[in-house]
Chains A and B, each alone.
Chain A
Amino acid sequence: MEILMCIVAGLLFAAAVYLMLSKSLLRIIIGTGLLSHGTHLMLLTMGGLKGGAVPVLGEHASLYTDPIPQALILTAIVISFGVTAVFLVIAYRAYQELGTDNMEQMRGMETDD
């Protein structure tokens, strides 16, 4: 399972990078969203996916899932949400002011193609 999850995370990374390299600002932001998903899944995978109970003591199980990566991911989710929200508003404002979401035009030069 872990191997498969690594491949899934790699897939998410590849798609994220591909989107981040495009000219449209919206696609770049979607790319950052995919990148954080990939990172979160990778974090969880590295903690181990072996069976075990939900990390709540009331379960009275003999084996629990590792709670540390979950705490880390929770923090990361909230932070990436904050950053994504700011990105979105910046992109929105940039479009309002500049009238484009093409990165090529935003650098203030004529497009090459």
Chain B
Amino acid sequence: MSLLHWAILAPFLMTLFVPFIHKRASVIHTGWFVLILPIVLFAVFLQYLPVTRMNSSITQTVAWIPSLDINFTAYIDGLSLLFALLITGIGALVVLYSVFYLSKTKEKLGHFYVYLLMFMGAMLGVVLSDNVITLYMFWEFTSISSFLLIAYWYDRERSRYGALKSMLITVFGGLMMLGGFLVLSLMGDTFSIRELAAQALELNEDPLFLLAMVLVLLGAFTKSAQFPFYIWLPDAMEAPTPVSAYLHSATMVKAGIYLVARFSPIFALSGYWFWIVGAVGLFTMTWASFNAVKQTDLKGILAFSTVSQLGLIMSLLGVGAASLHVETLDDHLYTAAIIAAVFHLINHATFKGSLFMVVGIIDHETGTRDIRKLGGLMSLMPVTFTLSVIGAFSMAGLPPFNGFLSKEMFFASMVHLLELDLFQMDTWAILFPVMAWIGSVFTFLYSMMIVFKVFTGRFQPEKLEKKPHEAPIGMLVSPIILALLVVVFGLFPNLLSYSLIQPAAAAIVPAILPPGGQLDVHISFWHGFKPELFMTIGVIVIGILLYKLMPKWIKIYDYMPGKVTLNQFYNASLYAAERGSNAITNAYMTGFIRSYLVYIFTFFIALLGFTMWAKGAFHYDASSAASIGLYEAGLVVVLAISIVTILLAKSRLTSIIALGAVGYTVSLFFVVFRAPDLALTQLVIETVSTALFLLCFYHLPALSRHNEKRRFQAGNALVAAGVGVIVTLIGISAHSSKFFPSINEYYIENTYKKAGGENMVNVILVDFRGFDTLFEITVLSVAALGIYGLIKLRIGKGGETNENQ
């Protein structure tokens, strides 16, 4: 166990102590104790910066199931470190924020921090695992802990609905991803991501390659809320705001981004990757930003904006794959997309985290998140206002904040695609910058809505539950730190270039890394009059126009998709699945024994009949058969008559007597076929059985055929005839193909010599095969006891009654 392993497991270990701390030290908010851990972890991870800076990595392995090649391998390189720092850094800020957000007395804090720590550990495990099976394990841990966190207020119906929805969708994706991992490991014969990446070229040729890629991408897209799986994220907003800020903006939803980035070295050579990741990401970005504008709940806007921004990062990762195809070492046109993706990832975590916290503050201080009720809070909450301006302007892509830089890089990457002549890009390339631009206009719109609908306009105190005032300083610390980072990264963009961004980007596209060298990552604030600058100016101008004219055109949303949304599809398919399986079960589980017998016998006929036909198993060979004597023929006729009598009998007595006749005929058969013991037993037992039948059914009504319909009888007759024919055919073929002689010679020889008896059947029963007889006696005893119990024991509906009383 190395330091890295302890770092991953520390949050899990901490969960064991949280309930104790919560109980023993309830005077102090539990969050203060929890806060120590992410800070320490953040410091621990900072120590790895010098390592990854040189594009080197550390691998530590602890054997878990070595016989299956499943190990707990911790692996840290630029990409992992970036995520680990985000998780622990934002984790610390979120814990700090939650200390002030969640009430010490009203909330179940013990639960909250256990779930949150579990999530943090799982997330660290995801980004630091090299073994795909371990990665999958932690991946599902994030789904489970996220489920628990969304349903934190489990007495609310909406929370439970949101939790279930996110669980179903992310677990579906997780399972698909597991399938993808298994296919990958079958192809590459290893579970290690690094070893798989080393054989990327051979894997590309594999016929299963595309399957593995699509399955892994399904996992990434469901987790990162890409189209059409984004629907769980807006409903996950029922979680407490610190959870939304942490899971649904900065960490969990980026697990999918991480997965795509991590598997880029394996898949990115393929043109499908370029198209699927790039196009899905870009479409998600445009679609979600378009939908964000019509939301009226602040968290709803932020949820859709998260989806949109994740789509943006995803599309950059997809488009960056082009760098593997056209890159010459001095031309970094397409690598810039990867760098932009990493940069925007950091930026998004900062501004979206702070925006969520701002929304939480507004909710906390006014009692509502509905933008129709809010307005004019600027003078009442100046600090919150400033924070939201910084966050929202950065999100909109305005200078001088960091969002401006990454948006410019985004535009630049999309514009460069026009020059790409790969993957049929010559025909479709123009769509990329156009969609990116439209998406950005709507991004600008909803960013402005967050600021201006809430903080300017008319103050409506009568609609608010509480009297609004500025938040306590403790609650403001975390968003202030994040907002400061937004400004600092905006003004000094190269602060992180070579410490974090370069190593992360190099981990995503190691193939084009010059030996021992580094990617050129220089983010310039001003880069001349390039097309991307004009696009940004266009976004701002059109955005302001649209914002001003909003009341005029906002109605188009009423005519838009409305009727057929993905949510309705989700709900309808859940409903249909439930109803459908119910209907199927009700259809075949009739509760009537006849149905089940029909299934059993039909399968019997079909299976045996088909096997006999397919294997050509039917033989007819009467040469070894004995000749038919007069007695036998007569007995057969008697037997047939008795059977028909039973079938046609109208009274109970007739059928019982006819059954007895069958039994006696069988015992006559035993006589004819020289089986005296059998004949004796059969005779006695048939007599007793018939007597029993008569005894038992003295009280029963006359044998009724229950007015069975003719069709009902015909169906029965068909099944019955089928069974009879199959049995006969099997009997004949079995008799006609004997492969070896009987072992009866041994018994005939040794009955007297070894066992000292003359009646072979009896000697077999009590000597050679005495155990059978022992348990046959047991069966009879059990039957006798059972009958006694059935007759005597009466535990009726009205409690215990006994016939004897």
Residues of A participating in the B interface, judged by any CB pair closer than 8 Å: 1-24, 26-28, 30, 33-34, 37-38, 40-42, 44-58, 64-68, 70-71, 73-75, 77-79, 81-86, 88-93, 95-97, 101-104, 107-109, 111, 113
Most B C-beta atoms less than 10 A away, residue of A4, A5, A7, A9: A5
**Chain A residues near B628 (CB-CB < 8 A):** 1, 4
Q: How far is the CA of A95 from the CA of B675 in the complex (A)?
A: 38
B762 closest partner in A (C-beta): A71
Does B498 reach chain A (CB closer than 8 Å)? no
Q: How far is the CA of A28 from the CA of B708 in the complex (A)?
A: 14
**Chain B residues near A57 (CB-CB < 8 A):** 751-752, 758-760
Give which listed residue, A11, A20, A90, contacts B790 with CB less than 8 A.
A90
Q: How far is the CA of A70 from the CA of B669 in the complex (A)?
A: 12
**Chain A residues near B725 (CB-CB < 8 A):** 10, 14
Please tell me if the beta carbons of A82 and B697 are within 8 angstroms of each other in the complex: no
Instruction: Give B611-647 as 1s and 0s: 1 = Cβ < 8 Å from A's Cβ atoms.
Output: 0000000000010111111001100100110010011
Please tell me if the beta carbons of B681 and A74 are within 8 angstroms of each other in the complex: yes
A64 closest partner in B (C-beta): B748
Q: How far is the CA of A52 from the CA of B676 in the complex (A)?
A: 13
Most A C-beta atoms less than 10 A away, residue of B625, B682, B689, B703: B625
Give which listed residue, B624, B681, B723, B759, contacts A55 with CB less than 8 A.
B759
Please tell me if the beta carbons of B678 and A74 are within 8 angstroms of each other in the complex: yes
Instruction: Give B769-805 as 1s and 0s: 1 = Cβ < 8 Å from A's Cβ atoms.
Output: 1001100100110111011001100001000000000
Q: How far is the CA of A18 from the CA of B724 in the complex (A)?
A: 10
Give which listed residue, A33, A38, A75, A107, contacts B659 with CB less than 8 A.
A33
Please tell me if the beta carbons of A13 and B727 are within 8 angstroms of each other in the complex: yes
Instruction: Give B694-722 as 1s and 0s: 1 = Cβ < 8 Å from A's Cβ atoms.
Output: 00110111011111110000001101110
Please tell me if the beta carbons of A88 and B696 are within 8 angstroms of each other in the complex: yes
Please tell me if the beta carbons of A20 and B591 are within 8 angstroms of each other in the complex: no
**Shortest Cβ distance from residue B229 to the other chain A in the assembled complex, whole angstroms:** 43
Please tell me if the beta carbons of B728 and A6 are within 8 angstroms of each other in the complex: yes
Please tell me if the beta carbons of B716 and A18 are within 8 angstroms of each other in the complex: yes
B769 closest partner in A (C-beta): A71
Give the interface segment out of B1-9, B543-551, B730-738: B730-738
Q: How far is the CA of A57 from the CA of B751 in the complex (A)?
A: 8
Give which listed residue, A5, A45, A47, contacts B742 with CB less than 8 A.
A47
**Chain B residues near A2 (CB-CB < 8 A):** 622, 625-626, 735
Give the interface segment out of B242-250, B267-275, B567-575, B593-601: B593-601
**Chain B residues near A67 (CB-CB < 8 A):** 744, 747-748, 760-761, 764
B693 closest partner in A (C-beta): A88
Please tell me if the beta carbons of B764 and A78 are within 8 angstroms of each other in the complex: no
**Chain B residues near A70 (CB-CB < 8 A):** 675, 677-678, 761
**Chain B residues near A97 (CB-CB < 8 A):** 796
Please tell me if the beta carbons of B728 and A85 are within 8 angstroms of each other in the complex: no
**Shortest Cβ distance from residue A85 to the other chain B in the assembled complex, whole angstroms:** 6
Please tell me if the beta carbons of B626 and A49 are within 8 angstroms of each other in the complex: yes
Instruction: Give the dominant DSSP class at A's interface.
Output: helix
18 A-B pairs with C-beta separation under 8 A:
A6-B728, A8-B640, A15-B647, A17-B724, A24-B706, A26-B652, A46-B734, A48-B626, A56-B759, A67-B761, A71-B764, A74-B765, A75-B776, A83-B779, A86-B790, A93-B790, A95-B699, A95-B700
Give which listed residue, B594, B666, B723, B784, contacts A23 with CB less than 8 A.
B594
B732 closest partner in A (C-beta): A6
Among all A-B residue pairs, the 8 with the closest Cβ atoms: A14-B724, A10-B728, A6-B731, A82-B783, A18-B720, A67-B760, A17-B720, A107-B591
Residues of B participating in the A interface, judged by any CB pair closer than 8 Å: 590-594, 597-598, 601, 622, 624-629, 632-633, 636, 639-640, 643, 646-647, 652, 655-656, 659, 662-663, 666, 669-670, 673-678, 681-682, 685, 688-689, 692-693, 696-697, 699-701, 703-709, 716-717, 719-721, 723-725, 727-728, 731-732, 734-735, 742-744, 747-748, 751-752, 758-761, 764-765, 769, 772-773, 776, 779-780, 782-784, 786-787, 790-791, 796
**Chain A residues near B764 (CB-CB < 8 A):** 67-68, 71
Please tell me if the beta carbons of B791 and A65 are within 8 angstroms of each other in the complex: no
Please tell me if the beta carbons of B626 and A81 are within 8 angstroms of each other in the complex: no
Q: How far is the CA of A71 from the CA of B18 in the complex (A)?
A: 71
Please tell me if the beta carbons of A78 and B627 are within 8 angstroms of each other in the complex: no
**Chain B residues near A53 (CB-CB < 8 A):** 674
**Shortest Cβ distance from residue B520 to the other chain A in the assembled complex, whole angstroms:** 78
**Chain B residues near A92 (CB-CB < 8 A):** 696-697, 699-700
Once A2-B626, A74-B761 are accepted as A-B contacts, the answer to whether A103 and B646 lie under 8 Å apart by CB is no
Please tell me if the beta carbons of A12 and B597 are within 8 angstroms of each other in the complex: no
Please tell me if the beta carbons of A1 and B627 are within 8 angstroms of each other in the complex: yes
**Shortest Cβ distance from residue B761 to the other chain A in the assembled complex, whole angstroms:** 5
Give which listed residue, A33, A58, A65, contacts B689 with CB less than 8 A.
A33
**Shortest Cβ distance from residue B789 to the other chain A in the assembled complex, whole angstroms:** 10
**Chain A residues near B697 (CB-CB < 8 A):** 26, 92
Please tell me if the beta carbons of A15 and B720 are within 8 angstroms of each other in the complex: yes
Q: How far is the CA of A67 from the CA of B776 in the complex (A)?
A: 18
Please tell me if the beta carbons of A71 and B761 are within 8 angstroms of each other in the complex: yes
**Chain A residues near B647 (CB-CB < 8 A):** 15, 18-19
Q: How far is the CA of A7 from the CA of B791 in the complex (A)?
A: 40
**Shortest Cβ distance from residue A1 to the other chain B in the assembled complex, whole angstroms:** 4
Once A44-B670, A88-B693 are accepted as A-B contacts, the answer to whether A78 and B776 lie under 8 Å apart by CB is yes
Q: How far is the CA of A95 from the CA of B734 in the complex (A)?
A: 42
**Chain B residues near A28 (CB-CB < 8 A):** 593
Please tell me if the beta carbons of B758 and A18 are within 8 angstroms of each other in the complex: no
Please tell me if the beta carbons of A81 and B758 are within 8 angstroms of each other in the complex: no
Please tell me if the beta carbons of B677 and A22 are within 8 angstroms of each other in the complex: no
Give which listed residue, A22, A52, A86, contacts B786 with CB less than 8 A.
A86
Give which listed residue, B594, B735, B744, contacts A45 with CB less than 8 A.
B735
Give which listed residue, B592, B676, B705, B787, contacts A107 with CB less than 8 A.
B592
B777 closest partner in A (C-beta): A78
B730 closest partner in A (C-beta): A6
**Chain B residues near A46 (CB-CB < 8 A):** 731, 734-735
**Chain B residues near A17 (CB-CB < 8 A):** 597, 601, 716, 719-720, 723-724
Please tell me if the beta carbons of A52 and B674 are within 8 angstroms of each other in the complex: yes
Please tell me if the beta carbons of A24 and B704 are within 8 angstroms of each other in the complex: yes
Q: How far is the CA of A86 from the CA of B782 in the complex (A)?
A: 10
Q: How far is the CA of A83 from the CA of B689 in the complex (A)?
A: 11
Please tell me if the beta carbons of B744 and A9 are within 8 angstroms of each other in the complex: no
Please tell me if the beta carbons of B689 and A84 are within 8 angstroms of each other in the complex: yes
Q: How far is the CA of A1 from the CA of B601 in the complex (A)?
A: 28
